[in-house]
Chain A
């Protein structure tokens, strides 16, 4: 079986469609959405419609912090630009859409795998896995051998070592990595809708269960179109700029 892992779509319809088309060409059997479907971008309704349709067909989906923020609350800890985008998104969500988000779990466990938006350590606290210490705590919080997350917006992997401290690896796009059975792996899928590693191309990962490999892909999409929609919608200008430079 082959699962496409899509994280941090952030209402970016152009990026989502490009990644789905790419993954279908790669012959994936199903999709797993690792949270933050909403926020930042100009197409929350269209993105939710696509994801909800795929979930009906068997796709996995978990809730992200931006999705949760769209359900209500005053968001004192959120950056004001992100908060503006959340308030803008809230006005555009109907009852069915709010119900779909509210119904998403924080994590999904399946065989030796765990799917989540942020660290497996206290998922409700949305901890960023930004270093080996956070990765070690994430491994300690779950018995799963493979942990798939988003939230960080960079394509990365952490793996356990016999000495205990996990190590970081920056994958090359398109190169399948063997996920050795003798270790545990934490995979950060990269961001579909708002990459922040200097490369504006959308990013997702593909897990081949039978071959035991993981591949990150970079998918070019119509960034200009997505950015123009953000400006036309009256969302903060910085959000359009971020897409164009990928930062």
Chain B
């Protein structure tokens, strides 16, 4: 009997591993709990074997091949580690890390969830998706069943059978009767055969968030291409029509993910995660207030457009991300040099001209109020408000649309540390920071820019106004 044709008995040896029990029987593959034939495993392992033989889906082997190719390239906490792969008499198998901290599908079964929980969970998954996109991979089949969690809550994306790597051949077949994807979550551009745009994963994240917030699917679960295509012109019922308590900012975010044209969605999963983490800063549009589908005229216009050219797609995940960097600008509110502020804004203007999807977050640090004072909360609030006003004033000459600008005031006596933490948590692609000035205070605090340059996990631009010299 071939490996993928029936069920493996406990004790069967595959590669250097021994089967313990069957964990899961899926339509495309079987998953077994396994252990190394010799020695101990550093972490729990599963064996994945595609279903082969008479009547098996022709995509089984291709999906398996794609998964093997992509898992071998992925690193980091958001994908299971590939341990070994091979084939026995032409029947392929792979052994990878088992993820034990829970499944999003189990959480989704309890939907509708509280808005804060929807935002937290979706943000966690968006962070994992962004990490994938940074590695030039698009998942293209995101759904709660394919999201697992580690014990610490980190999201892990599994099942890469339909995934695409921006630098490798696309092996997924489009010649089957159905588009490659899941009917509930497939994006409009995937229906047009486009498999290179990372924003397709943002559409699927929108479907996940919609389901967590309302307990329903925005487009149902169609199984034919014609039924799937309805999403090209028909809006989903706004989530607030199902869940009255849903805050406008969450509906704004969800409906933006579900936009038909990729360019109308968030530019990156990092921007989506950032919005979910900072609800009060999400600019609300007409989407936030909608309580019903938009009328037949909108649908008709989109129906006509659906038969025209497919949407403008990004050529690859890497290209889309490079067009939409998250730039942190460290503003020192105690530094009064107007020449420095202008030089930093000039650096930003150049970046904005070159990178249309760029988003800016201005970050400033305020020292926390003295401990134990009775008026501390009011003091802190007043200080925060003053800092926010000062930062808005700083950004005013740039004339940025609300969508491109975010502001963050960190309460910390360690400006460099606060900036570095924020950059790591929000996937900053670049930091712009001013060079150290001359004041006695600067000398006392040490150089923020030097530490940021040394410790940041992204590029750092240190700006010094023309005509100024270092100490």
A residues with a Cβ closer than 8 A to B are 157, 159, 161-163, 167, 169, 172, 175, 177-178, 180-183
B173 to A163, Cβ gap below 8 A?
A: yes
Determine if B450 is an interface residue (Cβ-Cβ < 8 Å). Answer: no
The contact of A182 among B58, B61, B167, B173, by CB within 8 Å, is B61
A167 to B169, Cβ gap below 8 A?
A: yes
Binary contact readout B31-48 vs A (1 if CB under 8 angstroms, 0 otherwise) = 000000000000000000
- State which residues 85-109 of B face A: CB under 8 Å: 87, 92
B173 to A175, Cβ gap below 8 A?
A: no
B58 to A177, Cβ gap below 8 A?
A: no
Chain A binding surface, main DSSP class: loop
Residues in chain A near residue B87, CB distance under 8 A: 181
Residues in chain A near residue B313, CB distance under 8 A: none
- State which residues 297-330 of B face A: CB under 8 Å: none
The contact of B175 among A163, A178, A180, by CB within 8 Å, is A163
B residues with a Cβ closer than 8 A to A are 58, 61-62, 65, 68-69, 72, 87, 92, 167-169, 171, 173, 175
Residues in chain B near residue A181, CB distance under 8 A: 87, 92
B69 to A180, Cβ gap below 8 A?
A: yes
Residues in chain A near residue B68, CB distance under 8 A: 180
B92 to A182, Cβ gap below 8 A?
A: yes
B92 to A175, Cβ gap below 8 A?
A: no
18 A-B pairs in the complex with CB atoms less than 8 angstroms apart = A157-B169, A159-B169, A161-B173, A161-B175, A162-B61, A162-B173, A163-B175, A167-B169, A169-B169, A175-B167, A177-B169, A178-B69, A178-B168, A180-B69, A181-B92, A182-B61, A182-B65, A183-B171
Q: Give me 5 other A-B pairs in contact (C-beta within 8 A), A157-B169, A161-B173, A163-B173 excluded.
A: A159-B169, A175-B168, A177-B168, A177-B169, A180-B171
Residues in chain B near residue A162, CB distance under 8 A: 58, 61-62, 173
Residues in chain A near residue B168, CB distance under 8 A: 175, 177-178
Separation of A175 and B171 alpha carbons in the complex (Å): 17
B169 to A172, Cβ gap below 8 A?
A: no
- Least CB distance from A205 to B in Å reads 15
Residues in chain B near residue A161, CB distance under 8 A: 171, 173, 175
Which 6 residue pairs spanning A and B have beta carbons closest together?
Answer: A169-B169, A175-B167, A163-B175, A172-B167, A178-B69, A180-B65
Separation of A169 and B165 alpha carbons in the complex (Å): 13
- Least CB distance from B376 to A in Å reads 56
Separation of A175 and B65 alpha carbons in the complex (Å): 18
Number of A-B residue pairs having CB atoms within 8 Å of each other in the complex: 33
Separation of A170 and B62 alpha carbons in the complex (Å): 20
- Least CB distance from A208 to B in Å reads 13
- Least CB distance from B169 to A in Å reads 4
- Least CB distance from A173 to B in Å reads 10
Residues in chain B near residue A175, CB distance under 8 A: 167-168
Residues in chain B near residue A180, CB distance under 8 A: 65, 68-69, 171
- Least CB distance from A61 to B in Å reads 29
B316's nearest neighbour on chain A, judged by CB, is A172
A165's nearest neighbour on chain B, judged by CB, is B175
A177's nearest neighbour on chain B, judged by CB, is B168
Separation of A23 and B173 alpha carbons in the complex (Å): 35
- Least CB distance from A216 to B in Å reads 12
- Least CB distance from A135 to B in Å reads 13
Separation of A183 and B62 alpha carbons in the complex (Å): 10
- Least CB distance from A165 to B in Å reads 9
Residues in chain A near residue B169, CB distance under 8 A: 157, 159, 167, 169, 177
Find the residue from A157, A172, A177, A178 having the highest chain B CB count within 10 A: A178
Separation of A167 and B87 alpha carbons in the complex (Å): 24
- Least CB distance from B205 to A in Å reads 28
Residues in chain B near residue A159, CB distance under 8 A: 169, 171
- Least CB distance from A170 to B in Å reads 9
- Least CB distance from A159 to B in Å reads 6
A174's nearest neighbour on chain B, judged by CB, is B167
- Least CB distance from B70 to A in Å reads 10
B169's nearest neighbour on chain A, judged by CB, is A169
A170's nearest neighbour on chain B, judged by CB, is B169
Separation of A163 and B175 alpha carbons in the complex (Å): 8
- Least CB distance from B165 to A in Å reads 9
Find the residue from B62, B72, B168, B169 having the highest chain A CB count within 10 A: B169
- Least CB distance from A221 to B in Å reads 25
Separation of A22 and B273 alpha carbons in the complex (Å): 43
B64's nearest neighbour on chain A, judged by CB, is A182
A180's nearest neighbour on chain B, judged by CB, is B65
Separation of A187 and B400 alpha carbons in the complex (Å): 49
Separation of A182 and B168 alpha carbons in the complex (Å): 16
A182's nearest neighbour on chain B, judged by CB, is B65
Residues in chain B near residue A177, CB distance under 8 A: 168-169
A178 to B173, Cβ gap below 8 A?
A: no
Residues in chain A near residue B69, CB distance under 8 A: 178, 180
B171's nearest neighbour on chain A, judged by CB, is A180
A163's nearest neighbour on chain B, judged by CB, is B175
Residues in chain A near residue B167, CB distance under 8 A: 172, 175
B168's nearest neighbour on chain A, judged by CB, is A177
Residues in chain B near residue A182, CB distance under 8 A: 61, 65, 92
Separation of A98 and B69 alpha carbons in the complex (Å): 46
Separation of A177 and B73 alpha carbons in the complex (Å): 11
Residues in chain B near residue A169, CB distance under 8 A: 169
Separation of A161 and B61 alpha carbons in the complex (Å): 11
Separation of A227 and B173 alpha carbons in the complex (Å): 45
Separation of A221 and B214 alpha carbons in the complex (Å): 62
Separation of A180 and B61 alpha carbons in the complex (Å): 11
Residues in chain A near residue B92, CB distance under 8 A: 181-182
